[in-house]
Amino acid sequence: MMANCEKLSRQDGLQNASCIGSQEALQFGAGFYKGRIAAAIVDVLRRERGVMTAEDLAHHRSVTTRPIHTSYRGYTIYEVPPPTQVLTY
């Protein structure tokens, strides 16, 4: 998004060269968990003393869930279900 909150179009020029190609990489999912974007995430986490590794990202598998929904005053309200990717003991 631009500073005035308008969505970028293909005709808009990007000034940050490191962002070029990021949208395409993220569209197919693998670009987030492997490759250039994953390496950048792990690099930031390492600098901040995080413990996630490139292998952690590469082995992650997301699960697509159906939204929960209810009716309220004539509207159908949709929401993502409660998180399930948490630690359990």
| Number of domains forming the structure of the chain | 1
Three-class SS of 12-37:
CCCCCHHHCCHHHHHHCCHHHHCCHH
pTM of the model: 0.49
| Range 12-48 burial, b when 16+ CB lie within 10 A, else e | eeeeeeeeeebeebeeeeebbbeeebbeebbeebeee
Domain span holding position 27: 17-79
Residue 45 within a domain: yes
Give ∠ CA 41-46-47 in degrees, rounded to 5: 100
Contact status, residue 83 vs residue 68, Cβ threshold 8 Å: no
- Paired sense of beta strands 75-79 and 68-72, if any: antiparallel
Residue 2 within a domain: no
Residue 6 within a domain: no
Residue 59 has pLDDT above 80, yes or no: yes
Residue 10 within a domain: no
**Which pLDDT tens digit goes with each residue over 8-45?**
676 666 566 666 666 666 665 666 788 888 888 899 99
